[in-house]
Structure 1
Amino acid sequence: MKIKNILRKLPQGTDYFIVTNLKNVRFITGFTGDWAIVLLSKRKNYFITDARFTEQAQKEVEGFHIIIIKKNFMENLKSLIKPPKTIAFEADNLRYESFINLKKTLKGCKFIPTSGIISEFRMIKTAEEIKKIARAARIADRSFSEILPYIRVGVREIEIAAEFEYILRKNGSSGHPFSTIAITSTNTSLPHGQPGMRKIKKGDLFLLDFGATYKGYVSDMTRTVVVGKATKKQKEIYSIVLKAQTTAIESVKIGLKLSDLDKIARDIIKDAGYEKNFGHSLGHGIGLEVHEEPLVSFRSKKKVQKGMVFTVEPGIYIPRWGGVRIEDDIAVIDNTSIKILTKSPKKELIEL
């Protein structure tokens, strides 16, 4: 059914669809290896990989004709596709060099660029997918509680990041969806700052943005804490961000425009006088990747739908002072059930 639905979305007259995005390959086939291409058609579907994954493909991939390439991949395609045919491809993933080679190999074929066809299906999660994301969230929650004792005066950012990634692995994360952001003091004003050799000082804000992976599905969470006693301003900024986040989460319902959801949080920060200090989108979808559809932004044309899983992560970033971000993962179960998957404490600024 999944493949039939994808084929229905292809441009009219398409004979074949070449899927090169590895996450999309996994979504379609269940294959967890790191090199494969899928060729879809109304008559027969092919799974193409190399000898490194022969045994793995046989275990994980069902309903496809499995081809283990022994020579050049293009030669395999040439044997499968006889021109003239119309071939759709993932324009946002296929490298230009590969596209040129494809055109040379399959002379006489017409090529149609596509974008976002499979990501639209990935955007709406099944109950089983949500369970996997929830498990990844629980791993992240447990790991956050275990890293807190390590966040203390004199420890470097990079040391916290390294220890945290070890804890995540130890607690069952099969990989890191992205490099852990572990930053202190004025570095926290950088939304995607990278951990370095800076040491934590007493009174510093410390921001952790991290995630876990469970059976290919990821979580993404941010918490901001203070090392020592929080100042009045630190508490003030934190409370504004928390209000923006909790109000937005409470507003989530099926049919709500995602641009309106972004506006709900953004207006709270704007009314507090920090409009210019919140520059990024309110959130993004998560699943097989840490950034996928839907985008929760003023640019978004989409509405909240059942099965969406996305982050809600407002922040305030003040250059040469620091920043606060709070991020949680939200699953839309139905109109009366919006589940917050990440559950680490956030009701008040944690003082370590």
Structure 2
Amino acid sequence: MQNQLIIPRRGFSSSEFEARVARAQRIMSAHGFDALLVSAPPNVRYFTGFDTQFWESPTRPWFVIVPLAGEPIAVIPEIGAPEMALTWMKDIRTWPAPVPEDDGLSLLKSTLDSLPKRFGRIGAEMGREMALRMPVSEFLRLREILGSPVEDGSPCLWEIRMVKTAAEIEHINYICQIASDAYEALPAQISIGESEREVARKLRIDIARRGADSTPFLPAISGPGGVQQIVCGPHDRILETGDILFIDTGSTFDGYFCDFDRNYAVGSVSDDAHRVHEALWLATEAGIKAAVPGAATDDVFRAMSKLIEDAGAIGNNVGRLGHGLGLQLTEPPSHRLGDSTVILENMVLTIEPGMEYAPGKMIVHEENIAITRDGARLLTKRAPRELPVIR
């Protein structure tokens, strides 16, 4: 049965953020941190609900401190205080940024130094798939002058964020349904002879009309019987009979991403292309079935890779067969050998088998799932087993 399209409430309640912080503080205690210092937009948004298009300006740094006990503290430029005050945040400390000679550093130091010290360590965004949104020189200076050492808090942050709340999953489900419907409608809107760029433009418009907030990621790539890569484009290449058209989208609703692709046959395509598409459809089924609580990401990889190898794969330049999903297009974990992340209930994952079956000819499938106690629940509408045709 397909999911019903119910528009989620925008934003989250104070109780949602209180629960996120309470869980985060339990995990912080296990990691031995007195506080987490975050500056990147996804982490700031996760703990506060604050969002702004002004992230596009790199001039001012923004900070949120999650202490081991009590509510988070925002240390932000004055320009953002009115909007931050509309969130659940109560402790908002500001400075008149930009002040390059001291752009919030002394205020940040005094705030961190004032926190109770149980472990004597502060965690920051220093590791895997994290980024500081402040000058590196300023961060190094902070480490020199702070009363507590600042260490890599990324494992702690990802342990917090990899497991989603019900409200987060509802948001992801909604944008997945929007994009699924737009994918299904696409063949009727395009035709042989149009360019990849025109196809991408039409799909982007349709996704927006259906309710998406933005589509930051939409590569549309075509090639005879398959594509060479899946991350760049669209280009001005014209769709020709015999092509496979690959489209991937990372569209958002209220900050949360979908990330899945669809493949289309342009006119008639080779028997090999149909065969590989079928093999990947079956590999996707195997990956979905393997994604159960208690399994490891390695297990999901193996379930798919066996079928891909049997189908005659000669390569796969993606390097993994799926990943986490949420406030970012790609998040940990990765379905690859050696990742070894244990899959937990309420994780949101992509299942993404792909294979190069001849030089320069690659096909990739992708679906998005939420992990329940009984296994995977599709958030996307399952790709058709037979390639949809563009005429």
Specify the alignment match of 2:302 in structure 1: 263
- Give the corresponding residue for 2:58: none
Out of 32, 37, 48, which is 2:63 matched to? 37
Out of 335, 340, 343, the position equivalent to 2:381 is 343
Deviation digits for residues 210-254 of structure 1 (CA, Å, limit 9, x no counterpart):
132111111111111111123211111111111111122123322
How do residues 233-244 of structure 1 correspond to structure 2 at under 5 angstroms? Answer: 233-244=272-283
Q: What does residue range 142-157 of structure 1 map to in structure 2 within 5 Å? A: 142-157=181-196
Question: After alignment, is 342-351 or 10-19 more displaced?
Answer: 10-19
Secondary structure of 1:197 counterpart: coil
Q: Which residue of 1 aligns with 2:36?
A: 17
1:211 counterpart SS class: strand
* Preserved contact between residue 276 and residue 311 of structure 2 (Cα < 8 Å): no
Cα 1:107–1:324 change in 2 (3 A) is closer
Which of 120, 124, 141 aligns to 1:101? It is 141
Q: Confirm or deny: 8 A CA contact 2:38 2:63 kept in the other structure.
A: yes
Size of the aligned set, in residue pairs, is: 348
Equivalent residue for 2:218, pick from 172, 180, 185: 180
Q: Determine if contact 1:157/1:195 at 8 Å carries over to the other structure.
A: yes
- The answer on whether the counterparts of 2:297 and 2:341 sit within 8 Å (CA) in structure 1 is yes
For structure 2, which runs of at least 5 residues remain unmatched after alignment?
1-18, 56-60, 98-102
Rounded Cα–Cα distance in structure 1 between residues aligned with 2:70 and 2:268: 67
User: What RMSD in Å do the two structures reach over aligned CA positions?
Assistant: 2.4
Would the alpha carbon gap of residues 158 and 319 (structure 1) be closer, same or farther in structure 2, given more than 3 Å must change?
farther
Which residue pairs with 1:3 in the alignment?
Answer: 21
**Letter matched to residue 62 of structure 2:** A
Structure 1 unpaired stretches of 5+: none
Contact between 1:38 and 1:46, CA under 8 Å: does it hold in 2?
A: yes
Name the amino acid aligned to 2:63.
Answer: I
Could you tell me how far apart the structure 1 residues matched to 2:286 and 2:66 are? Answer: 44
Residues 181-223 of structure 1 deviation map (CA, whole Å, 9 limit, x = unaligned): 1011157121323211111111211101113211111111111
| Residue 14 of structure 1: how far off its partner (Å) | 4.4
After superposition, the Cα gap between the structure-2 partners of 1:234 and 1:146, relative to the gap in structure 1 and judged at 3 Å, is: same
Where does residue 75 of structure 1 map in the other structure?
106
| SS, match of residue 306 in structure 1 | coil
Task: Quickly say closer, same or farther: Cα 1:275–1:158, change in 2 above 3 A.
Answer: same
- 1:113–1:320 Cα change, 3 Å: closer
Tell me which amino acid in the other structure corresponds to 2:387.
L
1:107 deviates by 5.2
For 2:326, the equivalent position in structure 1 comes to 287
Aligned partners of 1:239, 1:82: CA distance in 2, in Å? 59
**CA distance in structure 2 between the partners assigned to 1:112 and 1:279 by the alignment:** 31
Name the CA distance, whole Å, in 2 between partners of 1:4 and 1:351.
50
Matched residue, 1:57: 84
Distance 1:45 1:341, change over 3 A: closer
Residue 13 (structure 1) shift: 6.7
CA distance in 1, matches of 2:32, 2:276: 56
The 1:333/1:86 distance shift into structure 2, 3 A limit, reads: closer
Task: Give SS of 2:227's match.
Answer: helix
User: 1:202, 1:48 → 2: CA distance?
Assistant: 57
Q: Give the 3-state SS of the residue equivalent to 2:85 in structure 1.
A: helix
Cα drift, residue 319 of structure 1 = 5.4
What is the CA–CA distance in structure 1 between the aligned matches of 2:249 and 2:173, rounded to whole Å? 15
Cα deviation for residue 256 of structure 1 reads 1.6
TM-score, normalised to structure 1's length?
0.90
Shift of 1:114: 2.4
Cα shift readout 1:269-325 (whole Å, capped 9, x = no counterpart): 111221534652110011111111222221221222110110111112245552221
Is 1:26 matched with 2:45?
A: yes
User: Does the CA contact (< 8 Å) of 1:230 and 1:351 recur in 2?
Assistant: no
- Kept after mapping to 2: 8 A contact 1:37/1:49: yes
Tell me the distance in 1 between the aligned counterparts of 2:331 and 2:249.
Answer: 16
Are the counterparts in 1 of residues 297 and 340 from structure 2 also a CA contact under 8 Å? yes
